Every structure is written in structure tokens, then in C-alpha cells.
Amino acid sequence: MSVNLPTVLTEDTHFYKKYENELKHLLGKYYISYSTINSWFDYRPDFIKQKFLGIRLPSGVYADMGNFLGEAVENGFFSQDNPHGFIGQENVDLNKYRKPDAEYEKLIIIDRGEYFMVGFIDIYYEQEGKKYLEDNKSGGANKEKEYASEDYLQTVFYNYALGGDCITGVNFFRREGSHVRPPLKLGKEQFYIPVEYNETRVKKALAKLDLAVKEISEMKKVFDKYFG
């Protein structure tokens, strides 16, 4: 496969400085993130606008709520910077999700030769000789089904990058309201969704990764030919 992605790791890449020691040897190499894979398959028009045309799009209220929640878990408090007016913070006991000596936004790298994948684990910690990685997600019933299904692969990728010996799962926060019925609210219902790690899911994840890179590369070549 001939790789031609729109993203190459440079010293100006937005996450490079924070993880410089881990990424320095990969400078100049094509990369893709987990969120980019999902964007390619699920939001292709937005992907093309952002990655090929350089159009900066707003992140969206649901993504902003996820970031708002994730930062709260990492910091131990909800930010006062709340332009969307999210409510329901009193329903979340942040101490329940914070672990002693946990790492937040832990970098993972999957080197595929011509390119590499990056991801950032929401919570990683070790306890009583076992390793745990957890993803924080908010949403309604449809999102709950998605994270409980065999198609959910984010923590599978991350576990694979760390050797496959982690206990993985999703901390799910029930979300109420919508973008058409604001404000969004963090509900009282929160629970853990275990994510099984097995060879079948690893193969499925890596196949999806390689397919995304192949298709994006092919489109990039066409784009460069006519607009480069």
C-alpha cells in the first residue's frame, strides 16, 4: 500500500510538544488518529473539508460536552468555562473516576511501517498488579448500544498498543437533552461498560485502520493531481 495521508508529524503538530520524547523518532512520518478514522467513515464530507480543503469546522456541542466532562475527570473539578451552559454537574461524583497515580491523555502509538496511528487514553492506571485503561463517554441510548457492541474498537486499539494485557472499558455518562432541546445535561445514571479484548476484534480494528489509510491515500492522490 502506498501511503499519502494529509497529516505528517512535524514539530508544529498540535500534540507534538507535549509528547516530544515519545514522538521525536517519528518526525516526518505520516500519521492518523482514531478520531480521524471515525471521521472518514462516519462524517466524510466534514473530513474532506477539514483535511483536504483546510476549512476549520466547529467541534460541535456533543464533542464539547465530552471534552468538558473529560477535563473534569482529569482535573477533579468542572471548569467554570462553560459557554454551552451544560448542566447536571452535581450528578457526577468525579472522585469515583479518579484513581491514585493515574495517567490522563496517555499517548499510544501503533507503528504500521509507512505510517503510524496515535491515540490518547482518557484514564490509565495500575492497581494490585493489573493494568486498566478506560474511556469516558457521554450519550443517550444509541451511544450506549454503540459502546457495548463489537463494533466499538477504540479501547481495542489502545490495549493492542500497550501489549493487550489491560482491563478495558467505558465509563458511560447518561446525557439528557439535545442540540435542538438545550441545554445538555449530565444525568444521574452512570455505569461501566466492559470491552472485551480478543484476537478477532484486534484483526477487525487493524483492518479498519488499514482500509481508512488506503482510501484516504487514494483520495489524496486524486486531490493532489487536480488541485495540488
Quickly state the pLDDT bin for 168 (edges 50, 70, 90).
very high
Quickly state the pLDDT bin for 121 (edges 50, 70, 90).
very high
Map out the domains of the chain with their CATH numbers. 17-227 (3.90.320.10)
Quick check: 1 pLDDT over 90? Answer: no
Dihedral sign for Cα atoms in the order 148, 117, 23, 8: negative
pTM, entire model: 0.94
Name which residue leads in pLDDT, 181 or 148.
148
What is residue 228's predicted lDDT score, i.e. its pLDDT?
A: 74
Quickly state the pLDDT bin for 46 (edges 50, 70, 90).
very high
> Residue 140: which of 172, 180, 101, 92 has the closest Cα?
172
What is residue 106's predicted lDDT score, i.e. its pLDDT?
A: 98
Q: Average pLDDT of the chain? A: 96
What is residue 59's predicted lDDT score, i.e. its pLDDT?
A: 86
What is residue 56's predicted lDDT score, i.e. its pLDDT?
A: 92
What is residue 12's predicted lDDT score, i.e. its pLDDT?
A: 98
What is residue 43's predicted lDDT score, i.e. its pLDDT?
A: 93
The pLDDT tens digits of the residues spanning 147-164 come to: 999 999 999 999 999 999
* 204, containing H or E segment: helix 199-227
What is residue 144's predicted lDDT score, i.e. its pLDDT?
A: 94
Q: Is the CB of residue 175 less than 8 Å from the CB of residue 187?
A: yes
